[in-house]
């Protein structure tokens, strides 16, 4: 990955994405029929290596939104024609995708999503607005979730469809190299063949996409956290305090020990999710546990890293301060920490989501 194009504007983000696709990074865990190879364990290893070499959580977010938000739903729910048309292009990076669930008035609560789709004589017509959608400004297509017959359903929308606007605002501060924005659909008319999966399958499709995204996005983030950890070790050895190196101070070395345990525990959780997927098992509980632990651990370790490095850790626009913002974003994307707790409690037999 030494040839990864430089970080820059939206087009630079797209170039970095395409470079990763050209290196085969989107082929892991994909059936050989579509040019794929390896399994989920290989995917976790490759994404961790990308994190280590790129130090770019925005790139990792972009690749994961594309993989779990567009490729996998088409792989799992697409018609033969849809698979034939989209998959090879998405896997090679010729098409860039993502998934559009969140709306200005609703994110966690899928029942409150309002985007509407209706069948007309000319095809499917969509109206509504999506927000905070990763990859929107550079996407060729998005899997958009809308109400068809009042049931949540998935429809593939292309950036050049009539009535579709893929915007580049609003952005968030975390994972800043990942592009994001609103999607506005105004009497957007697409052929009926763009519907993905059955009417009303949207809820299940969203859960399955997020289940994968929330586990495996941390494979890449782990790689970046590895770097963060090594930087802190290096600083603690070089910095002199009271005639000795900073790490001699037990308060500092214990904080570093906690960072190490968090990092290695995230790796164990990601590997456990990969092992389960490689054995064709669902990861609803394991991925919620991974996401909750990993995002909270990432935030705590990012705060610890800044604190140990003193004001050097807080230099404006430095990688260390960026990681705090990335960690804050990680507690929200793919379902917030609170939603992961709801899932874990429900699967344990109690709480808001238990029926
Ligand atoms: C970097 C980034 C990338 C993103 N990419 C995408 C994308 O590609 N596609 C997409 O569709 N969305 C994306 N999102 C949006 C993200 O999925 C939502 O922000 C998230 O689901 C939370 O929704 P919300 O922001 O509307 O908050 P809300 O749902 O309004 O929640 C607000 C607060 O209330 C809490 N809360 C809500 N419901 C409950 C409950 N039942 N119990 C306890 N607490 C609750 C939440 O945890 C949160 O703290 C992205 C967000 C970020 C930050």
Task: List CB contacts of 38: < 8 A, sequence separation 6 or more.
Answer: 27, 28, 29, 46
d(CA 126, ligand 1 centre) in Å: 23
CA nearest ligand 1 atom 51, residue = 333
pLDDT digits (tens, 9 = 90+) for 221-252: 999 999 999 999 999 999 999 999 999 999 99
pLDDT at 8 (0 to 100): 87
Pocket of ligand 1 (CB under 6 A): 65, 98-102, 107-109, 132-134, 172, 174-175, 180, 329, 332-333, 335-336, 338-339, 342, 352
CB atoms within 10 A of CB 84: 11
Distance, in Å, from the CA atom of 264 to the CA atom of 125, rounded to the nearest integer, reads: 48
Higher pLDDT, 335 or 318: 335
Q: What is the average pLDDT score of the chain?
A: 97
d(CA 333, ligand 1 centre) in Å: 6
Domain contains 3: no
CATH number, domain containing residue 253: 1.20.140.10
Mean pLDDT of 341-354: 92
Confidence of residue 2 (pLDDT cuts 50, 70, 90): low
For β-strands 141-148 and 99-100, DSSP reports them as: parallel
d(CA 338, ligand 1 centre) in Å: 10
Beta strands in the chain (DSSP E): 99-100, 116-120, 123-134, 141-148, 151-158, 164-166, 180-190, 195-196, 240-241, 244-245
**pLDDT of 123 strictly over 70:** yes
pLDDT digits (tens, 9 = 90+) for 208-223: 999 999 999 999 999 9
Ligand 1 pocket mutation pick from 56, 101, 132, 325 by most atoms within 8 angstroms of CB: 132
Q: Which atom of ligand 1 is nearest to the CA of 108?
A: 29
Domain boundary among 92, 109, 130: 92
Q: Which atom of ligand 1 is nearest to the CA of 175?
A: 1
pLDDT at 57 (0 to 100): 98
d(CA 113, ligand 1 centre) in Å: 12
CA nearest ligand 1 atom 31, residue = 108
**pLDDT of 1 strictly over 70:** no
In terms of domains, do 245 and 335 share one? yes
Ligand 1 pocket mutation pick from 107, 146, 183, 295 by most atoms within 8 angstroms of CB: 107
In terms of domains, do 149 and 234 share one? no
Distance, in Å, from the CA atom of 111 to the CA atom of 275, rounded to the nearest integer, reads: 32
In which domain, by residue range, is 265 found? 203-347
Q: Phi, psi (5° rounding) for residue 232? A: -65, -40
Confidence of residue 292 (pLDDT cuts 50, 70, 90): very high
Q: Which of 153, 301, 334, 173 is nearest to 225 (CA)?
A: 301
213 is catalytic: yes
pLDDT at 352 (0 to 100): 84
By residue count, the chain amounts to 355
Confidence of residue 322 (pLDDT cuts 50, 70, 90): very high
**pLDDT of 65 strictly over 90:** yes
Mean pLDDT of 260-281: 98
pLDDT at 282 (0 to 100): 94
Cis peptide before 264 (omega within 30 of 0): no
pLDDT at 354 (0 to 100): 75
Distance, in Å, from the CA atom of 313 to the CA atom of 306, rounded to the nearest integer, reads: 4
Confidence of residue 3 (pLDDT cuts 50, 70, 90): confident
Q: Phi, psi (5° rounding) for residue 45? A: -65, -45
Domain count, the chain: 3
Domain boundary among 39, 60, 92: 92
d(CA 127, ligand 1 centre) in Å: 21
In terms of domains, do 195 and 207 share one? no
d(CA 137, ligand 1 centre) in Å: 20
CATH number, domain containing residue 32: 1.10.540.10
Ligand 1 pocket mutation pick from 129, 170, 332, 342 by most atoms within 8 angstroms of CB: 332
For β-strands 164-166 and 99-100, DSSP reports them as: unpaired
In terms of domains, do 79 and 116 share one? no
**pLDDT of 178 strictly over 70:** yes
Mean pLDDT of 290-303: 98
For residue 355, give both structure tokens: 């029926």
pLDDT at 353 (0 to 100): 77
CA nearest ligand 1 atom 53, residue = 329
Side-chain half-sphere of 92: how many Cα atoms within 13 Å? 8
In terms of domains, do 207 and 292 share one? yes
Q: Which atom of ligand 1 is nearest to the CA of 109?
A: 29
Active-site residue, selected from the candidate residues 118, 186, 213, 296:
213
Cα dihedral sign, 269-271-275-276: positive
């Amino acid at each position: 990955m030494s040839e990864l194009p430089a970080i820059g504007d939206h087009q630079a983000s797209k170039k970095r994405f395409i470079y990763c696709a050209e290196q085969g990074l989107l082929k892991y865990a994909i059936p050989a029929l579509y040019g794929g190879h390896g399994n989920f364990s290989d995917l976790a290893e490759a994404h961790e290596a990308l994190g280590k070499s790129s130090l770019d959580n925005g790139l990792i977010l972009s690749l994961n939104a594309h993989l779990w938000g567009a490729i996998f739903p088409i792989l799992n729910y697409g018609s033969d024609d849809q698979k034939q048309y989209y998959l090879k292009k998405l896997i090679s990076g010729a098409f860039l995708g993502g998934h559009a669930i969140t709306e200005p008035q609703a994110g966690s609560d899928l029942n409150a999503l309002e985007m509407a789709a209706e069948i007309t004589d000319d095809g499917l017509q969509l109206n509504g607005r999506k927000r905070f959608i990763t990859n929107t400004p550079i996407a060729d297509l998005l899997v958009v979730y809308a109400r068809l017959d009042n049931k949540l359903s998935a429809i593939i929308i292309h950036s050049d469809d009539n009535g579709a606007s893929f915007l580049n605002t609003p952005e968030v501060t975390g994972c800043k190299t990942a592009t994001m924005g609103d999607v506005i659909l105004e009497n957007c008319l697409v052929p009926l063949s763009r519907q993905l999966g059955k009417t009303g399958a949207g809820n299940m499709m969203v859960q399955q996409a997020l289940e994968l995204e929330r586990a495996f996005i941390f494979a890449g983030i782990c790689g970046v956290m590895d770097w963060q950890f090594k930087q802190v070790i290096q600083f603690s050895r070089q910095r002199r305090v009271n005639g000795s190196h900073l790490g001699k101070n037990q308060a500092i070395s214990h904080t570093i020990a906690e960072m190490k345990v968090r990092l290695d525990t995230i790796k164990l959780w990601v590997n456990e999710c990969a092992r389960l997927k490689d054995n064709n098992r669902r990861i609803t509980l394991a991925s919620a546990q991974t996401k909750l632990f990993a995002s909270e651990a990432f935030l705590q370790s990012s705060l610890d890293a800044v604190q140990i490095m003193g004001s050097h850790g807080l230099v404006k626009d430095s990688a260390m301060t960026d990681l705090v913002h990335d960690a804050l974003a990680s507690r929200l994307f793919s379902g917030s920490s609170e939603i992961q707790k709801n899932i874990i409690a429900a699967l344990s037999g109690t709480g808001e989501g238990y029926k």
